Amino acid sequence: MKTMKLLFVSSLILLFSATLVAQPKPWVVPANFKAMKNPIAKSDVSDKAGLAVFTKNCAACHGKTGLGDGVKARALKNFPGDFTKADFQGLADGELFYKTKNGRDEMPKYDGKLTDDDIWNTVNYLRTLKK
């Protein structure tokens, strides 16, 4: 009986520890970026430009439809995220701009690789991925 209890408690501790390790750390975005408004109006032209940028630079990890199922996703330590989910779609445009421009961990930094307009067009395109 003691062995069963010990095994059960050990299993719970292991499961709890794995859950803590698997949780991504919060991605803190400075307030001035959260407040930024997208200077590029939402339009078919902007969406198409954003799709081109996304396809070239993002789809390999994030997948063609933003589900996080790109061909490179399996090799990543962390799931790249599902852009169709409400929590992602609830982020401010400025937050998406900041994360794309600055990157972190496995997410590359696109500052200097993409223009601000490219990033803003991509933000507009990402808004089309809602479920």
Amino acid 130: pLDDT: 86
pLDDT digits (tens, 9 = 90+) for 94-131: 999 999 999 999 999 999 999 999 999 999 999 999 87
Q: Report the CATH architecture of 32-129.
A: Orthogonal Bundle (1.10)
Helices 116-126 and 93-102 meet at what angle, rounded to 10? 130
Tokens describing residue 124: 């507009």
The domains of the chain are located at: 32-129
| Number of Cβ atoms within 10 Å of the Cβ of 27 | 13
Give per-residue pLDDT as tens, 1-39.
666 565 555 554 555 544 444 566 899 999 999 999 999
